[in-house]
Each structure stands twice: as C-alpha cells, then as structure tokens.
C-alpha cells in the first residue's frame, strides 16, 4: 500500500494540514498511522466526513433514524433482512448488491465442554443475523449495526491490531484473520440487523460468519466449511480475547433442519442425526431474561482456566506427560484418573471437572435418546445439564437461575437450560407445542413476579430448527 503525507492529503482533499492532523489524532482517517513524528495516510483513504457539513448531518440523521439509544432494548422479531436493506438504501441512496444470513444456535447438551475437546450437540434456529452490503473498491470497511449507535470504519489492509472495545471488534478480528489467509483488496459498506435480543444465542459468532460471508463474496474467496469456522474462531480467541471453542461456529455452519448435530471436538468429526419419525412434536422456546451480557466481561475465561488447571493437575498426580498449560485439555485425562485423584483437587477445580465428565456422558446418552425418538429422555438430560451448569460449572445470574427453576416446574417443557455462557442472556427449552400458550403465560407470570423491574425487557420467542449458513 502507498502512503501520502498530511501535506499531500491537504491538497487532495482541500482541507488544512492542521485539520487533517486533528482528524488523524481522532482516528477519523481510515488507515492513518504515525511513523516517528509524521502521520502517514493511505493514498486511497476516503475523505472523512466533516461534522460541520450538511452532508454529515444528513447522513447521521438517516443512520440514527434506524437506531434506538442503547438504554432501550432493540431487536427485530421478524423482517430483519428487509430492515437492513431499507436502512442501507436510506443511508447510501442505492440498493445493496447482496444480502447474507447466519442463524443463531442452541446447544441442548455439551455445554462448557468444547474448549476442552468434549462432545457437543446443537441446532441452528430460524432467527439470526442479516447483512445488506455492497463493495467498496478502495478497501474500506464501513459498517453499521441497527442494534448499536456507532458506525465503524477501517481498511482491510490497516485494521487496528488491538481491539477498540466496541461492537465491531469481532469484525475487525475477522478481517485480520481472513487477510492472513487470503489477501483482501475489496472492502464493503454494510448494514446489519439481528433478530431476537442479544445474549446467549451466539450472536457474536453469527455476526462474524455473516460478515465473513459478505467479505469473501466480494473478494472472490471460497472458504471451506472448516476454514470458515476456524477463521471465525480466531477472531474471537485472538482478537476479542474469549477462550471459547468451536461449538457456536460449528452449529451455525453444519446444522441441518430437523437434524441433531453431534460433534466430537477432538477430531472435528460430526454426524447429522435425523429426527426419528416416531418422535413427539417439539419446538424451541427462547426465554430472554432481559439482562444482556458481554462474554469477555463475564467469568467465562476464568471457568475455562479452572477446568484446564484441573486437567493439568490430574496429569501431574497420575504421572502423565504434560506440556504447555494452554495446550492441556480435559479430554486428555481418562475418567478413571479423575475418579482416583479428584479429592486432591481444589473444590472449584473439582466441580469444573465433574461438570465436564458428566456432560460428556450426557451427550452420549442424549444422542441415543434422540435416535430412539425419546424426546422426554432427551429433555430430562437437558434439565440435568442445566443443574450441573448451576452447581458444578457455577454459572447463572439470579435471573437465569429463576428462569431455569420455572421451566422445570412447567408442564409441556421437555427440557431446558441456560443458553450460551450462562451468566446473563437467555434460557432455551424444548417444548410440546400443544402447551405453547400455557407455557408462555406461566413462565412470564412467574418470572416477572420474581423480577417485576424487568417488565418490558423480558421476552419469549418460539423458534424452529434450521439449516446452517449457506456458503457462496
């Protein structure tokens, strides 16, 4: 990439050198970087909008007309694709070149185990993230989410190397991860809208996969399913700093409607097990607590470290060979080693390990129940998984724990648990659709009786299983 000086940019944009210097310091010029005492600006960087001009004010009004202030919950129940398209047309005065969609996911069994190479199950659901987009040949990424008030900008070849602590960090990380594999030239202008409230349905993985689908399409890149999953995972692990495994991305890529994804994270092998024709009817219910959560600000990483510490210690107690801490996984430690030495572990480490081993067993049993068409037994195991998450993995805000308790006492719910990290967000349940109305009424009544301050923030949604993301 060629760079120009402030003086050259001043002549090119008809702005004073002082003004450009100020814009560089404020981060308003895409790709500008300081070398010694000099600011260097990419020669294809777009002229920044001047906040004093009518053009800037007009564009901001258009953008903010589609955005609700962060203090007010904002989500779309239906029609997020058209929302994104209409917002794009209003902002850019033209139709987007294309749209893309990635579904959210739920994980009935296999929670808190993928990062230590356990086994998982999953469904994609018919709600997710939509993007409306067009190319920017100068390599600039310009993207707006209708859930957040700030538009984000960067260049495909000069993405900030450290996170900026805003909603677009996941996409900056994805840009860097993709650019390492395939050189990027074309950027994009885009608008994103998401269905359902944020929290517990892997919205971060979904927005990364949706963004990568668009960026790959515009740059003529065809990723394999495995490459797409790994690139998205790298964005979360290395850039955002979340110690998650591949569960979210795998569900959102591999899943198939009316099939259970059964995946072994040790070798990435998976099966799509069709629904037994004799299985009772079921649907997916999502109960959103009204409390949003940020995965990186939660205790998620601490729980993963505690589990890994238990694995490391068990290897040492048993005289097993061990190497680097961050390469140690509970899957490496046989169950009999845990049973022999578990009493020597600190209590919190023992609980994390107890959850991991029992969840591994629940997945195997759950898959067998699914194959047989026994949705009641499958659901019972999901409830059991929820209890283990509370008492052994020790996740769950008071709100989510109460939602879980209400679900266990509600007729027509086969099984349910926290969805996602489990500190805030939502619960998922597999329900008998004949009981839908009574379930929705009872859960809402009992939950708001416990937390009346969440009236207007709590919500419930009925969903169906769906296919994973479509690769171009």
Determine phi and psi for 399, rounding to 5 degrees: -65, -45
Rounded CA-CA distance 58/61 in Å is: 5
Rounded CA-CA distance 231/219 in Å is: 16
- What is the three-class DSSP state of 288? strand
What is the number of helices (H) and of strands (E) in the chain? 14, 15
For residues 367 and 121, the answer to whether their CB atoms sit within 8 Å is yes
Tell me which residue of 213, 239, 254 sits closest to 98, measured CA to CA. 213
- Here the tokens at position 320 are 């097993």
Catalytic residue among 114, 248, 332, 374: 248
- What is the three-class DSSP state of 367? helix
Determine phi and psi for 316, rounding to 5 degrees: -65, -45
Rounded CA-CA distance 110/50 in Å is: 51
List, in sequence order, every beta strand (DSSP E) within 301-432: 413-419, 426-431
Rounded CA-CA distance 362/360 in Å is: 5
DSSP label of 76: B
Place of tokens 């029992």: 358
- First-to-final CA distance of the chain: 29
Distances (CA, A) of 345 to 187, 257, 301, 329, 427: 51, 42, 19, 16, 31
For residues 164 and 219, the answer to whether their CB atoms sit within 8 Å is no
Q: Can you say whether the dihedral through the CA atoms of 292, 297, 303, 304 is positive or negative? A: positive
**Active-site residue, 44 included:** no
- What is the three-class DSSP state of 42? strand
Tell me which residue of 435, 351, 332, 448 sits closest to 393, measured CA to CA. 351
For residues 218 and 192, the answer to whether their CB atoms sit within 8 Å is no
In this structure, the strands spanning 187-194 and 140-145 are parallel
Rounded CA-CA distance 403/292 in Å is: 15
For residues 151 and 63, the answer to whether their CB atoms sit within 8 Å is yes
Catalytic residues: 248
């Amino acid at each position: 990439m060629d760079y120009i000086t402030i003086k050259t940019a001043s002549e090119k944009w008809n702005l004073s050198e002082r003004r450009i210097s100020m814009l560089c310091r404020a981060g308003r010029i895409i790709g500008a970087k300081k070398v010694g005492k000099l600011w260097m600006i990419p020669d294809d960087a777009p002229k920044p909008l001047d906040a004093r001009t009518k053009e800037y004010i007009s564009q901001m009004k258009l953008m903010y007309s589609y955005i609700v202030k962060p203090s007010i919950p904002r989500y779309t129940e239906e029609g997020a694709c058209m929302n994104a398209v209409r917002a794009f047309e209003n902002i850019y005065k033209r139709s987007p070149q294309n749209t893309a969609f990635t579904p959210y996911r739920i994980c009935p069994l296999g929670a808190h185990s993928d990062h230590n190479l356990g086994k998982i199950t999953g469904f994609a659901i018919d709600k997710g993230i939509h993007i409306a987009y067009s190319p920017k040949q100068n390599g600039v990424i310009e993207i707006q989410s209708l859930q957040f008030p700030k538009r984000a900008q960067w260049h495909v070849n000069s993405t900030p190397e450290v996170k900026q602590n805003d909603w677009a960090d996941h996409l900056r990380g994805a840009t860097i991860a993709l650019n390492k594999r395939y050189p990027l030239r074309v950027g994009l202008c885009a608008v994103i809208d998401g269905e359902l409230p944020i929290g517990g349905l892997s919205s971060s993985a979904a927005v990364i996969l949706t963004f990568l689908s668009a960026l790959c399409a515009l740059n003529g890149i065809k990723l394999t399913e495995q490459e797409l999953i790994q690139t998205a995972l790298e964005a979360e692990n290395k850039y955002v700093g979340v110690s998650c495994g591949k569960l979210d991305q795998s569900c959102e890529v591999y899943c198939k409607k009316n099939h259970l994804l059964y995946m072994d994270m040790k070798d990435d092998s998976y099966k799509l097990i069709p629904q037994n024709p004799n299985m009772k009817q079921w649907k997916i219910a999502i109960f959103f607590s009204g409390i949003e959560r940020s995965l990186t600000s939660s205790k998620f990483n601490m729980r993963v470290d505690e589990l890994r510490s238990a694995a490391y210690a068990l290897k040492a107690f048993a005289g097993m060979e061990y190497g680097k801490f961050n390469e140690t996984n509970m899957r490496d430690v046989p169950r009999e080693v845990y049973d022999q030495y578990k009493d020597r572990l600190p209590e919190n480490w023992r609980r994390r390990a107890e959850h991991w081993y029992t969840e591994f067993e629940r997945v195997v049993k759950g898959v067998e129940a699914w194959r047989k068409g026994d949705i009641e037994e499958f659901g019972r195991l999901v409830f059991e998984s929820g209890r283990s998450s509370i008492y052994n993995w020790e996740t769950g805000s008071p709100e989510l724990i109460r939602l879980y308790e209400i679900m266990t006492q509600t007729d027509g719910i086969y099984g349910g648990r926290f969805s996602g990290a489990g500190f805030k967000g939502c619960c998922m349940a597999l329900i008998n659709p004949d009981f839908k109305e009574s379930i929705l009424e009872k859960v809402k009544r009992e939950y708001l009786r416990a937390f009346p301050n969440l009236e207007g923030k709590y919500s419930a949604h009925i969903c169906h299983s769906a296919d994973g993301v479509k690769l171009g």
